[in-house]
Amino acid sequence: MTLITKIKKMSREELIFHLIAYPVFALVLLVCAYPFWYLFICTISDNKMVDLGQIFLLPKGIHYGNYIKVLKIDNLSNAAVVSVLRVIVGTGLQILVSSYAAYFFTKQEMWHRKLWYRLVVATMYFSAGMIPVYLNIKMLGMLNTFWVYVIPGMVGVYNMILIKTSIEALPADLEESAYLDGAGYLTRFFRIVLPLQKPILATVGLFGAVNHWNDFFTTKLYVTRPKLYTLQFLLYELLNQVRAIMEQPQDSGPGYDSLTPMATRMTMTAIVVVPIMLVYPFIQKYYVKGIMIGAVKG
């Protein structure tokens, strides 16, 4: 009833707009969400039916065999451990170092503060280039080490700017009284400033974690030891094999009861994408704030 009264109250233009807008946005929704849904239902459906194109909206012949088999793939559990470690250590270090730097760069009394700050920020806009950076990492002996994942990105300059802006918004008296009580820089940073930065640290941390999780190029460029592969890179390699097969004309695949190439890659994709889905609600809570500060600062 209320819907009808609402519609009656609308002007003709308003009504036409909504008659067009709702279907259009519903289509947008479908286009965005369906590939994820399709991938997911395929992983738990009967592999034969997937190959024959009989799965559209709901899973059929539900089984979890794909997951069980994919989890047994050589090196997968190891890659999962590397990925998770990388996210935890990498994000933790990044938050710590970025906020530490941000705090000190808010201190007007620092010797040549402007100069150092500019030097740091300039690296955001200027890079020596992929190969020189590679040669540098090689010279530092960081090829094929876990550290190449977490150390070069430790000072997230962009994050540092965000945190600095947030620290500058704190009232100055807050630190002043602690300073008069004789608290040093580090005490003030850890005891007073950092606890008040939780919202921005959460934002920066979530974005950092997603970036660490999603990155595969670092592995591609610097790592050749399979023990250090991440999940994303393993998936990339797997898709590469599929691509190699794809480029030649292909006969029918192996028996349907076994893991088909398509089932393998879909299941693995689902495994890699699930963590993103899990943290997405939290990211969503913070991203508007993040992108707004980002839009101002470039």
Indicate whether 287 belongs to the interface with another protein (CB under 8 A). Answer: yes
Using left for φ > 0, alpha for ψ between -120 and 50, and beta otherwise, residue 144 falls in: left
Angle made by CA atoms 226, 229, 234, in degrees to the nearest 5: 100
Indicate whether 143 belongs to the interface with another protein (CB under 8 A). Answer: no
Indicate whether 224 belongs to the interface with another protein (CB under 8 A). Answer: no
Query: What's the closest the beta carbon of residue 185 comes to another protein, in angstroms?
Result: 6
The whole-angstrom separation of Cα 165 and Cα 179 is 21
Indicate whether 119 belongs to the interface with another protein (CB under 8 A). Answer: yes
Q: Which two tokens stand for residue 7?
A: 């519609």
**DSSP string across 79-133:** HHHHHHHHHHHHHHHHHHHHHHHHHHHT-TTSTTHHHHHHHHHHTTT----HHHH
259 burial type by CB count under 10 A (0-12 exposed, 13-18 middle, 19+ buried): buried
Size of the residue set binding another protein (CB under 8 A): 95
In the region spanning residues 257 to 286, those forming contacts with another protein, defined by CB under 8 A, are 262, 265-266, 269, 272-273, 276-277, 280, 283-284
Q: Which of 1, 58, 131, 180 binds another protein (CB under 8 A)?
A: 131
Using left for φ > 0, alpha for ψ between -120 and 50, and beta otherwise, residue 182 falls in: left
Indicate whether 176 belongs to the interface with another protein (CB under 8 A). Answer: no
Indicate whether 216 belongs to the interface with another protein (CB under 8 A). Answer: yes
Indicate whether 182 belongs to the interface with another protein (CB under 8 A). Answer: no
Indicate whether 158 belongs to the interface with another protein (CB under 8 A). Answer: no
Nearer to another protein, 75 or 284 (CB): 284
Nearer to another protein, 22 or 64 (CB): 22
Token pair 């920066």 is found at 204
Query: What's the closest the beta carbon of residue 227 comes to another protein, in angstroms?
Result: 20
Query: What's the closest the beta carbon of residue 102 comes to another protein, in angstroms?
Result: 10
Specify the amino acid at residue 260.
Answer: T
Indicate whether 53 belongs to the interface with another protein (CB under 8 A). Answer: yes
